[in-house]
Chain A
Amino acid sequence: MREMTLGQYYAVNSPVHALDPRTKILSVISMMALIFLCRTFCGLAACACFVLAVSFAGHIPLSKMMSSLKAIYFLLLFTFLLNVFFNQSGAVLWQWGILNLTSGGIKRALFMALRLVLLVTGAGLLSFTTSPIELTDGLESLMTPLKKLRFPAHEIAMMMSIALRFIPILTEETDKIRKAQTARGANFDSGSLYKRAGAVVSLLVPLLVSAFRRAEELAMAMEARCYHGGEGRTRLKVLRFHASDAVAAAVVLALAAFIAADQTVIVSLLPDWTG
């Protein structure tokens, strides 16, 4: 009831957890780009090594990493089948009716599936090792240059942070109103659709009223504490890069260099594997 974790944050102390959130956000974005750009198994293998190494350094158990794939099992299967049967290059290995299984098709399908797995687990690494608050701080800092283009960076970050702050409060409140209406005979789990809709209204209306009341009071309290937007604001917590962030950046750069070399050098020497 009181204990709930937000997002997927896996709270342990590790060198990866200790990195500046901006480093992690930028690294994950770079890695995603690399995974997309990379056209060889060799390059993907390098990316896989990177993801495994980071999860190891971040003390994230393999089972946790795999659990982030749960949501995409179906998509994974679909991607694989689609590629297997729609790519008809290479030697035909097996045939049944109009379906041809080719060596090129299998290669292509494996490549696409692996790419998808790496994308998801790579993004998972960010949410496992960075708390929602750090993410918000990191995003605000990264978006700051956009302020010149009138992009509301501070406002968006403030909204995210207030949303984070009120999620546990509103969850508790939902639970309470639900109980109160259940005590008055509302039935959320069974009964006719009409009756259940009535029960949901009895939950949603008070919840909305309460959310608006809270918003109004919070706005008043923020104003009373001199809030007037991001202008002229200082921050208690200022993000600072450390030596470890430089190391992380170097590792990502090395990965990028490897993949670039892999694309230009190896690909030019060998026949096109991906068909």
Chain B
Amino acid sequence: MGISIQNLTHVYHPGSPFAVDAVHDVDLEISDGEYVCVIGHTGSGKSTLVQHLNGLLRATSADKMEIEGIDLLQKKPDWRALRRRVGMVFQYPEYQLFEQTVFDDIAFGPKNMGVEGDELTAAVRDSMRLVGLPEETEQMSPFELSGGQRRRAAIAGVLSMRPRVLVLDEPIAGLDPTGKQDILRVIDAYHSKTRATIIMISHNMDDIVSVAGRVIVMHEGRKVLDGSPEDVFSDPDRILALGLGLPTVSRIVREMNARGDHIPASVCRKEDLVRFLTEGRA
């Protein structure tokens, strides 16, 4: 079913002197099962864009907004169905934990969606396993968990709704290297297990090239680049001009080529670099 958006514009405080054009004329087609990373620096409109995907923000204007089979431009879209299909993990999600026990907190989402009884228990336990929370934490207070565990519990609270689209806003911010790897592994496991669509906002270009099948670059409210990591990073000067960083491999390739080498600019992962250097092809 996927996501199909045409000419989405979002203005904060329309008509007031503080009006801010946060997203401008964005078209977006995402098919089921894609792993998309959205990049752009602070204020580029990427957070605003993804908050439309489950109706947390409503378009100021749009020609088409069809998300997982629900038309958001109709008068009364089925919000509950939409929010069940599109899960949203915000920045620092551990700050939204509130229930007495980890179990109850993870159950909050599915319960609101009308899941009950054994089905609810199964949904909670499944997502705890998925994020690697040991069973004995189930009856603990979320505030007793370690920092990394809290983050995983919060993500489990979204996964327990079994969303078909999982949106994550900088899910690894503020974690130590192991914590980051844990979270990226959880997302990857959910993606390969359920074939859900993943849409992740991230700043870490090295992570992005290793996980994403597609990269979307936002700049000043507009979608400026959209394609495979190879495509997007094959114009490194453009990326730098947008004030963004490059994956480490792309940085090295760019510098090598500046010195006179001829490495294809699409080489952006270390595996690509190895292949090019050993087999002479990208």
Which residues does A use to contact B, with CB under 8 Å?
1-3, 176-177, 179-187, 201-202, 205-206, 209-210
In contact, B18 and A3 (Cβ under 8 angstroms)? yes
Given A179-B56, A185-B83, A185-B113, are A209 and B95 neighbors across the interface (CB < 8 Å)? Answer: yes
**Does B40 count as interface, using CB distance less than 8 angstroms?**
no
Contact residues of B between 241 and 280, Cβ < 8 Å to A: none
B12 with A181: CB separation less than 8 A: no
Q: Which residue of B lies closest to A181 (CB)?
A: B96
User: Closest residue to B51 on the A side, CB-wise?
Assistant: A179
Q: B31 to chain A: closest CB distance in Å?
A: 22
Contacts of B41-57 to chain A: CB distance below 8 A: 51, 54, 56
Within 8 Å of chain A (Cβ to Cβ): is B158? yes
CB contact between B96 and one of A2, A180, A185, A187 (< 8 Å): that residue: A180
Given A201-B98, A202-B108, A206-B97, A183:B87 Cβ within 8 A: yes
- State the B residues within 8 Å of A (CB): 12-13, 18, 20, 51, 54, 56, 80, 83-84, 87-88, 90, 93, 95-98, 108-109, 111-113, 143, 157-158, 161
Out of A2, A177, A185, A201, which one reaches B95, CB within 8 Å? A177
Is A3 a contact partner of B109 (Cβ separation < 8 A)?
Answer: no
Q: Is A185 touching B109 in the complex (CB atoms < 8 A)?
A: yes
Which A residues touch B96, using CB under 8 A? Answer: 177, 180-181, 202, 206
**In chain B, what residue has the closest Cβ to A173?**
B95
Chain A residues in 8 Å Cβ range of B80: 185
Q: Which of A3, A179, A185, A205 contacts B98 (CB 8 A)?
A: A205
Taking CB as reference atom, which chain B residue is nearest A185? B112
Q: With A and B bound together, what is the CA distance between A205 and B13 in angstroms?
A: 29
Given the complex of chains A and B, what is the CA–CA distance between A195 and B54 in angstroms? 21
Given A1-B12, A185-B109, A209-B143, also A180-B18 (CB < 8 A): no
- The CA of A223 and the CA of B274, in the complex, are separated in Å by 52
B12, B80, B83, B143: residue with the most chain A Cβ atoms closer than 10 Å: B83
Q: Complex formed: what's the CA distance from A1 to B51 in Å?
A: 14
Instruction: Tell me, rounded to whole Å, the shortest Cβ–Cβ distance linking B194 to chain A.
Output: 18
A179 and chain B: residue at smallest CB distance: B56
* B158 engages A184 (CB within 8 Å): yes
- 30 cross-chain CB contacts under 8 A: A1-B12, A2-B20, A3-B18, A176-B90, A177-B95, A177-B96, A179-B56, A180-B88, A180-B90, A180-B96, A181-B108, A182-B56, A182-B83, A183-B54, A183-B87, A183-B88, A183-B90, A184-B83, A184-B108, A184-B112, A184-B161, A185-B80, A185-B112, A186-B112, A202-B108, A206-B95, A206-B98, A209-B95, A209-B143, A210-B95
A251 to chain B, nearest CB (A): 33
Q: Given contacts A205-B98, A210-B95, is CB(A184)–CB(B143) below 8 Å?
A: no
Q: How distant is B70 from chain A, measured CB to nearest CB, in Å? A: 15
Residues of chain B within 8 A of A184, CB atoms compared: 83, 108-109, 112, 157-158, 161
A186-B108, A206-B98, A209-B95 known; 11 other A-B pairs, CB under 8 Å?
A: A179-B56, A180-B90, A180-B93, A180-B96, A182-B56, A182-B83, A185-B80, A185-B84, A206-B95, A209-B143, A210-B95
Contacts of B20 in A (CB 8 A): 2
Closest CB in chain B relative to A196 CB, distance in Å: 12
CB distance from A162 to the nearest CB of B (A): 20
Residues in B neighbouring A176, C-beta threshold 8 A: 90
- Expressed in whole angstroms, the minimum distance between the Cβ of A198 and any Cβ of chain B is 8
- Residue from the set B13, B95, B97 with the largest chain A CB neighbour count within 10 Å: B95
B56 touches A183 (CB 8 A): yes
A210, B95: Cα distance in complex, Å: 7
What CA separation (Å) do A174 and B5 show in the bound complex?
29
Docked complex Cα distance between A202 and B97 (Å): 8
Cβ-defined contact, A3 with B88, below 8 A: no
Do A179 and B90 touch across chains, with their CB atoms under 8 A apart?
yes
| Chain B residues near A209 (CB-CB < 8 A) | 95, 98, 143
Instruction: Kindly provide the distance from the CB of A33 to the nearest chain B CB, expressed in whole angstroms.
Output: 38
What is the chain A residue whose CB lies nearest that of B106?
Answer: A184
Q: A3-B13, A180-B96, A210-B95 are in contact. Are A185 and B90 (CB under 8 A)?
A: no
Q: Which residues of B contact A179 (CB under 8 A)?
A: 51, 56, 88, 90
Closest residue of chain B to A187, judged by CB?
A: B112
Chain A residues with CB under 8 Å of B93's CB are 180
- Docked complex Cα distance between A179 and B89 (Å): 10
